[in-house]
Amino acid sequence: MTIPEKSRRSFLKSGGTVFGASWLAINMPLILSASQAAEENQQAGAAYENLSAEEAVELGAWVNQIIPADDTPGATEIGVVYFIDAALGGFMASAAPVLRQGLDEFQQKTQSSYPQFNRFSELSFEQQTEMIKSVEDTPLFEMLHLMTLCGMFCLPSYGGNRENAGWNLIGFDHRHAWQPPFGYYDAAVHGEASVGGDEHEHV
């Protein structure tokens, strides 16, 4: 296979602290049980295992800036905070101190910009957007960006991607087998109706 140089750069930018590979290998059984618990928690709307209620609210505001709600759900509704909660108790445990320190510093920055508010989550959506723009080049942003994307599109057993909502959003249909035609442009070759709900010209 060919190597995703870009994904490597993203790892570098996130400070290289998100995934603790060796820790992971040794603790796999623990992780699996933790993620099953996360899925159950998410479905039951239960309390968080590793995040305080306050941290969960702040993270919810953060991840909803990265994937906001519109006519479809945003990252929070899709379960990204539950994913982060489980991950911080599992395979991302080594990232927890870095994340918490970053959030503390961000909170101080927020308060100095908006002294009338106590927390980032109390700002208006537009004010939150401005705050995140000011930290776009930091490891905190890269870490939460990566965690949000993982929580959006991981297997639901990790606590995110609730009822496949992340996958449904982008048109990823998870099945264990497919038959041709696969897409619009190979439908004519395979002699079947076109794919993708589009009956215009074939290529």
Using CB under 8 A as the criterion, which residues of the chain lie in contact with another protein when the complex forms? Answer: 1-8, 10-12, 16-22, 24-25, 65-68, 70, 72, 91, 129, 132, 145-146, 149-150, 152-155, 158, 166-167, 169-180, 182-186, 189-190, 194-196, 198, 200, 203
- Spatial neighbors of 164 by CB under 8 A, at least 6 apart, are 156, 174
The conformation of residue 158, written as its DSSP 8-state character, comes to: G
- Token representation of residue 2: 């060919």
Shortest distance, CB of residue 68 to another protein, whole angstroms?
Answer: 5
Shortest distance, CB of residue 10 to another protein, whole angstroms?
Answer: 6
Nearer to another protein, 51 or 132 (CB): 132
68-103 in b/e form (b: 16+ CB < 10 A) is eeeeebbbbebbbbbbbbbbbbbbbbbbbebbeebb
Shortest distance, CB of residue 41 to another protein, whole angstroms?
Answer: 18
Closest to 138 (Cα-Cα) out of 4, 17, 3, 7: 17
Nearer to another protein, 12 or 47 (CB): 12
Nearer to another protein, 52 or 72 (CB): 72
Residue 130 to residue 112: CA distance in whole angstroms: 14
Nearer to another protein, 45 or 201 (CB): 201
Beta strands per DSSP E along 15-153:
none
Shortest distance, CB of residue 48 to another protein, whole angstroms?
Answer: 20
Shortest distance, CB of residue 115 to another protein, whole angstroms?
Answer: 26
Nearer to another protein, 118 or 134 (CB): 134
Beta strands per DSSP E along 14-101:
none
